[in-house]
Amino acid sequence: MSDLKEISMKCEPPGPEAQKIMDRDKRFMATTNKVMPVVAKRGKGMYVEDVDGNVYLDFQSGIAVNNLGHCPPKVVKAAQQQLENLIHFPGILLSQNLEGALAEELSGIVPGNFTKKTYFSCTGCNTIDTAIKVARWSTGRPRNLAFFGCFHGKSIGAMSLTASRTNYRKGFMPEMPGVIHAPYAYCYRCPYKMEYPSCDVYCAKFIDEEILSKFIPPEEVAAFFVEAIQGEGGYIVPPKAWHKEIRKMTEKYGILWVADEVQSGIGRTGKWFGVEHFDVVPDITCIAKGIASGLPMSACVFNEKYDIKQPGAHATTFAGNPVTSAAALATLKTIKEEKLLDNATKMGDLLLKRENELKDKYEIIGDVRGIGLMTAVEIVKDKKSKKMDMETRNKIVNSCLKKGLLILFCGPSSIRIIPALNCNHEHIDKAMEIFEAEVKKVQAECKASCGTV
């Protein structure tokens, strides 16, 4: 079988083999949100081949999981070796070498000049639930605050924080009690119709002046859950002053600051963690997605003073599994050895520059946002009205897919463009060439059919 090195479209997806598999899945798998007709067979580096032989350039990275591309050789080797030595040994009761080694590594890269401890688990929402428990246990407080537009996962605990779509909540009540939400700093669509910097980050100050003064006693709030850059909500980058104001507020009231780095962590923004761009240090950092290059692993890393000093009070059977720990250690080592934080910064600057050039050229690109390789463009009816345009956004994503470029929906009308950290100029050139052609085509179609642009 030849290496996957370039886009090659043999038929319009879904091809016949893909269709058979999708029909079977529809019959036997619970309803999910599978909205793209790609049935993958194998992946290598930046490319994925589907079951009909189509080869795609992958700028989705498995929703920010395949940060080293598909099947990175050093991670594959580490996991294979571990599979032959020891697959599972229950970390709840006994020890093996790798989970502690990984906790030590994380302690070195997670922000904060203090000793840290880690609980491992398997998914993003597991690590958020862990943070809820760590914050409750160590503060003795019952409430939490999160932000509109945020996504923290879909377990009952994480879902109660999530506020990016009503259908994540609909039909699942009762939720975890004691959660309140405040507006995030979405400057392109300021909820208060103000402008930064003249607003003086009013959206952050509102929390103290209104919510914590008139509504919720701050001494009952255990934690603020904050995404450094809001992910599913639309890749929204708040001003540094917003993060600083929020951090100041949590310190004032003894509230813990939980950084949800599930999507923005492990190098995606060109630093190990998104919060590092904002000069704020969290009390608790939640990590998942890219940590083990696609093997299921997550970690909740916190200041040791918040450790739940009650043996057995919190744990899960698969936590710190030897194979996933080996993959995670190899992932972190590869990022360091191959200087991928630097590459993500350089390639991210290039990608954002190219996206901004397109924004200047096309009326339907309202905003371009991001840091490093965590980038998104927001699609609008036109620049003046800024009206969100989900239909046109979907058309662009699907049109790119047919041309062999995988990009991803994000929020109501944005598109995530998130290649692996080891992507190069040629990948970005190719992706932007396809993206521009499809934006141009879809914009022309919109103009012809509804005359809006």
Ligand X SMILES: Cc1ncc(COP(=O)(O)O)c(C=O)c1O
* Through-space distance between the first and last CA atoms of the chain, rounded to whole angstroms: 46
Residue closer to ligand X, measured from CB, 128 or 347: 128
Residue 288 sits in the site that holds ligand X (CB under 6 A): yes
What minimum distance in Å lies between the beta carbon of 59 and ligand X?
Answer: 17
Residues 6+ apart with CB under 8 A from 147: 163, 181, 182, 183, 184, 225, 226, 227, 230
What minimum distance in Å lies between the beta carbon of 152 and ligand X?
Answer: 5
Residue 151 sits in the site that holds ligand X (CB under 6 A): yes
Name the residue among 328, 341, 339 with its Cα closest to residue 301.
328
* Binding span for ligand X by CB under 6 A among 68-76, 122-130, 335-343, 370-378: 122-130
What minimum distance in Å lies between the beta carbon of 104 and ligand X?
Answer: 24
Secondary element (H or E) of residue 181: strand 179-182
Residue closer to ligand X, measured from CB, 161 or 204: 161
Is-contact 112 303, C-beta < 8 A? yes
What minimum distance in Å lies between the beta carbon of 424 and ligand X?
Answer: 26
Residue closer to ligand X, measured from CB, 165 or 402: 165
* Cβ atoms < 10 Å from Cβ of 451: 7
Half-sphere exposure of 53 (CA within 13 A, CB side): 5
* Binding span for ligand X by CB under 6 A among 147-155, 247-255, 269-277, 414-422: 147-155
Residue 443 sits in the site that holds ligand X (CB under 6 A): no
Residue closer to ligand X, measured from CB, 236 or 262: 262
What minimum distance in Å lies between the beta carbon of 64 and ligand X?
Answer: 7
Residue 129 sits in the site that holds ligand X (CB under 6 A): no
* Nearest residue to ligand X, scored by beta-carbon proximity: 124
Sheet containing 414-417: order of strands = 365-371, 374-379, 414-417, 408-410
Name residue 365's beta-bridge partners: 379
Residue closer to ligand X, measured from CB, 47 or 184: 184
Q: Beta strand pairing status for 284-287 and 298-303?
A: antiparallel
What minimum distance in Å lies between the beta carbon of 122 and ligand X?
Answer: 8
Residue 124 sits in the site that holds ligand X (CB under 6 A): yes
* Cβ atoms < 10 Å from Cβ of 424: 13
Q: How many of the chain's residues bind ligand X (CB under 6 A)?
A: 15
Residue closer to ligand X, measured from CB, 125 or 284: 125
Residues 6+ apart with CB under 8 A from 88: 318, 321, 322
Question: Is the bond into 72 cis (omega within 30 degrees of 0)?
Answer: no
Alpha-carbon span 378 to 309, nearest angstrom = 46
Residue 299 sits in the site that holds ligand X (CB under 6 A): no
User: Torsion over CA of 144, 280, 234 and 136, rounded to 10 degrees?
Assistant: -20
Q: Pick from 66, 82, 121, 123: which binds ligand X (CB under 6 A)?
A: 123
Residue 147 sits in the site that holds ligand X (CB under 6 A): no
Q: Pick from 58, 99, 232, 355: which binds ligand X (CB under 6 A)?
A: 232
Residue type at 370 in one-letter notation = G
Residue 231 sits in the site that holds ligand X (CB under 6 A): yes
Handedness of CA 440, 444, 445, 447 (dihedral sign): positive
What minimum distance in Å lies between the beta carbon of 126 and ligand X?
Answer: 7
- DSSP, collapsed to helix, strand or coil, labels residue 116 as strand
* Cβ atoms < 10 Å from Cβ of 436: 16
Residue closer to ligand X, measured from CB, 150 or 431: 150
Q: How is residue 239 annotated by DSSP?
A: -
Return the residues of window 169-228 that contact ligand X according to CB under 6 A: 227
Q: Pick from 44, 136, 143, 152: which binds ligand X (CB under 6 A)?
A: 152
What minimum distance in Å lies between the beta carbon of 123 and ligand X?
Answer: 4
Residue 263 sits in the site that holds ligand X (CB under 6 A): yes
Return the residues of window 54-93 that contact ligand X according to CB under 6 A: 63
Is-contact 418 21, C-beta < 8 A? no
Residue closer to ligand X, measured from CB, 298 or 392: 298
Q: Pick from 13, 15, 91, 153: which binds ligand X (CB under 6 A)?
A: 153
Alpha-carbon span 248 to 246, nearest angstrom = 5
Question: Where do contacts with ligand X occur on this chain (CB under 6 A)?
Answer: 63, 123-125, 128, 151-153, 227, 231-232, 260, 262-263, 288
